[in-house]
Structures are given as structure tokens and as C-alpha cells.
Amino acid sequence: MKLDPDTRRAFQTGGVALDLSSIAKGYAVDLCAERLRALGVPSFLMEIGGEFVGQGVKPDVQPWWVALELSDVAPAPGEPPATDVALVNLSVATSGDFVRRRDGVSHLIDGRTGEAPRGGLTGVAVVHERCMDADAWATALFALGAEEAFSLAERMGLAVVFAQRTPDGSRTRLTEAAEAMAE
């Protein structure tokens, strides 16, 4: 592949595949939400494969609540039994390996090393204005591993919930932006 940083273009000479699955569902959700808005639908919850956009509020004036599924490990003592997010004109996307983990190995890889992510993450959820961005960030953060991902998410001001395997169960960690949303 030839990269031209001046024009921000890449030329692929063959033999390489580009997999856009880390943004495809989020992008599709955004497109559907755009169409619903264009049709004048003031309030809806759109979901494709676990990626969500919530627009407006429900008829009872409650937000669109989404229960995050970020781990197959029971919560550690002192951890909340569940994590829910309210989507009012927001999106949420998740990435994780607990559903597709085989023989203790993640199906996701760190593109820098070609190896499974380290740090025991089971899931990452990103709340963002655009679902495609949330989808891309969730996958990228998961692939980075727990500590590096948390540091990057904080630097970027992202609202992120991380779920991590520990010997005593699953523990959640929220970025400052996510904590601010929870208040």
C-alpha cells in the first residue's frame, strides 16, 4: 500500500483487504436515523446489531434506556449489577470479546502487534453524537487494551464505560466524560 499524507490518500496495489466492520453497523444506524429525521419522526430508538441511536424521548417523556452488555463475568463485589445508558439525541456502540472469545483468546487483535489485546477487558461502550464514531472508537479502544485505552479515551474527552475481568468478577471503569453524564 502506498500512502500519500499530503493528499490523505492510500493506493492499494492488490493483495490486501480492507474490513470496515468496525464502523459498518454504526454507519448504518446513522443512515437510518438520518432518514427517520428527514421523514419528520421526532422520537425513536434505532438499533442494528447492538449499536443504538436514541432521538428525542419516549411518549412517557422518559429517555431511551439501553442496558449495556459488556461482560459474561458476574459483577465483582460492590459493582453495580447492570449498567444502563440514557440516549437522548445520542448514540452508543460497544465492542468486546466475551461473546466470540474462543479458548480464552479474543477475536479482536491489536493491529500494532497482530496479537489479542491485553489487560482483561471484556467490553467497551462509547457514548457519542454519531454512532459510526462510537463504533470505531469502541473497537479501537478495546484493541488497545485496558490502560492504554483508558488513557487515550480520557485525552480525547470520550464518554466510555470499560468492563474488565478481575479475579473477583467484572469491574467497570468510567472516563470523566462518562462520569459527568452519570451525574
The domain that holds 84 is classified in CATH as: 3.10.520.10
pLDDT of residue 108: 62
Please report whether residue 178 resides in a domain. Answer: yes
* Number of residues that make up the chain: 183
User: What torsion, rounded to 10 degrees, do the Cα atoms 75, 82, 107, 173 define?
Assistant: -70
Pairing of strands 169-174, 90-96: unpaired
Please report whether residue 64 resides in a domain. Answer: yes
pLDDT of residue 98: 65
Contact 142, 121 (CB under 8 A): yes
pLDDT of residue 1: 66
Please report whether residue 75 resides in a domain. Answer: yes
How many domains does the chain fold into? 1
Q: What is the mean pLDDT of the chain?
A: 87
Cell of 143: 484493541
* Structural domain containing residue 52: 17-182
Please report whether residue 5 resides in a domain. Answer: no
Please report whether residue 1 resides in a domain. Answer: no
Exposed, middle or buried by CB within 10 Å (0-12, 13-18, 19+), for 53?
A: buried
Please report whether residue 12 resides in a domain. Answer: no
pLDDT of residue 77: 96
pLDDT mean for each 10 residues of the chain (183 residues): 79 69 87 97 94 96 94 92 93 80 56 66 94 94 90 98 94 96 83
- Other CB atoms within 10 Å distance of the CB of residue 132: 21
pLDDT of residue 159: 98
pTM of the complete model: 0.84
Please report whether residue 8 resides in a domain. Answer: no
